[in-house]
Amino acid sequence: MNIVDRIQELKGEKDISILAHNYQPPAVQDIADFLGDSLDLCYRAQELEETTILFAGVRFMAESALILNPEKTVLLPDMDAYCPMASMLTPDILDEKKRKHPDAAVVLYGNTTARAKARADVICTSANAAHIVNSLDEDVVLFGPDKNLRYWTQKQTDKTLIPVPDHGYCYVHNSLIRPEDILYLRDRYPRAEVLVHPECVPQVQEVADHVLSTNGMLAHARRTSADEFIIGTEKELCYRLRKELPNKRFYEIETAVCRDMKRVTLQKICHAMEHEESKISLPHDVLESAREPLERMLSLGRG
C-alpha cells in the first residue's frame, strides 16, 4: 500500500480530518479534506464532525484549532513547524504596550501564539482585518504583529493603529517578495493582474492591482474575466490556483518559500496519524482566555 492510500485508510479508521493551509506542498494539498487560509480554516475547524483534526500547517494554526475545539484531539505533524512572526510578539511585549495605552483595544493577527491571543480583545486575519478594526468602539487599537498588514489596514480605517511589536513581519512576504520581482513579472506578462498579500511591504502593495488574502486571491481569480495573474504570496498557492482554475495562468515568485510550511510531509502526516503523536496541548487558562477573542472574530463575520 502506498503512503497516500495508507493516509486515506487512517482517516476512516481513526476518525481524522486533515486541514491544510494554502502554503502547504502540493502532495499535502492533494490529500487534505479542506484547504484554505487561516480564516477559512478557523470556520472549518468548528464545523468538523471528526474527533481528531490533523493540521497541516504551522503551530499557531493548530493551536487555534484546539482553542476552538478543546474537546477534540489536534495533531501537528511536525512540532517544530513555527511561524517566526508569531514568535516576535511575546506576552511581555504586549503587556508593556497595554500599560502604555490602557484604553486601546487589542487586535491581534491570527499569526500569534496562544499566549498572546489570550491577551487580545479580538483576533483578525488578513481577510478580515479592516472589518474587525472598524467594528470596534475604541478609536485607538494595538495591532500586531505584522507591520505590513497594519499598514494596509490603516489605509481602510480612521482609527489609530499602534504597532505591537514595533517591527513584526513575515520573512517571506517582507523580504522574499520585492517590488523588482513584481515589476519583472509584469514586464514579462503585461496582461496579467497583480495580486499580492497584505503581509507584503508597502512598496509591493502599491504596485499591485489588488491586495488580498490567499482565499481572496482564489475568489477574485474565479470571478474576474482576467485570465493571467502574478501572485505575490508564498509560491505554493499557485499550485492550488492552477489545479482549481486550469484555464487561467498564474505566475509565482520562485523565491517566496516558507521553510516552516514545508516541514510537513506525507511521511510525517502518516506517522502522526498511525501513532497519534504530536498532539497540541495548552494550559487550561490559556485555552479559556484565548477562546473568547477567537470566537469574537468568528461572530463578527468574514468581512
Residue-level pLDDT at 37? 87
Structural domain harbouring 31: 3-80+261-275
Q: Could you give the number of structural domains in the chain? A: 3
Axis crossing angle, helix 214-223 with helix 237-244, rounded to the nearest 10? 30
Q: Are 226 and 204 within one domain?
A: yes
Q: Are 164 and 181 within one domain?
A: no
Domain-located, residue 129 = yes
Residue-level pLDDT at 39? 75
Integer Rg of the chain from CA: 19
Residue-level pLDDT at 169? 98
Q: Are 9 and 76 within one domain?
A: yes
Of 54, 111, 123, 110, nearest to 268 by C-alpha is: 54
Per-residue DSSP letter, 146: -
Residue 251 has phi, psi (to 5 degrees) of: -120, 115
Helix (H) or strand (E) holding 107: strand 105-109
Before 145, cis peptide (omega within 30)? yes
Q: Are 270 and 288 within one domain?
A: no
Helix (H, G, I), strand (E, B) or coil at 159: coil
**Helices (H), ranges, the chain:** 3-14, 26-31, 38-47, 59-68, 84-88, 91-100, 114-117, 129-134, 147-154, 171-175, 179-188, 202-206, 214-223, 237-244, 266-275, 284-300
Q: Are 76 and 89 within one domain?
A: no
Residue-level pLDDT at 103? 96
Q: What residue has cell string 512576504?
A: 173
Residue 245 has phi, psi (to 5 degrees) of: -130, 70
Q: Are 121 and 64 within one domain?
A: no
Domain-located, residue 164 = yes
Q: Are 204 and 164 within one domain?
A: no
Q: Are 182 and 222 within one domain?
A: yes
Domain-located, residue 19 = yes
Domain-located, residue 144 = yes
d(CA 292, CA 219): 29
Q: What residue has cell string 470596534?
A: 136
Could you give the C-alpha distances from 197 to 128, 218, 301, in angstroms and in order?
13, 12, 20
Q: Are 164 and 288 within one domain?
A: yes
Domain-located, residue 256 = no
Task: Give every CB contact of residue 73 below 8 A, 6+ residues apart in sequence.
Answer: 51, 52, 53, 276, 279
Q: Are 216 and 69 within one domain?
A: no
Q: What residue has cell string 521553510?
A: 259
Domain-located, residue 37 = yes
Q: What residue has cell string 485508510?
A: 9
Q: Output the pTM of the full model.
A: 0.95
d(CA 64, CA 49): 17
Residue-level pLDDT at 46? 85
**Chain centroid offset of residue 9 CA:** 28
Residue-level pLDDT at 207? 97
Residue-level pLDDT at 8? 96
Q: Are 89 and 64 within one domain?
A: no
CATH number for the domain that contains residue 245 = 3.40.50.10800
Residues of the chain whose pLDDT is less than 50? none
Q: Are 159 and 290 within one domain?
A: yes
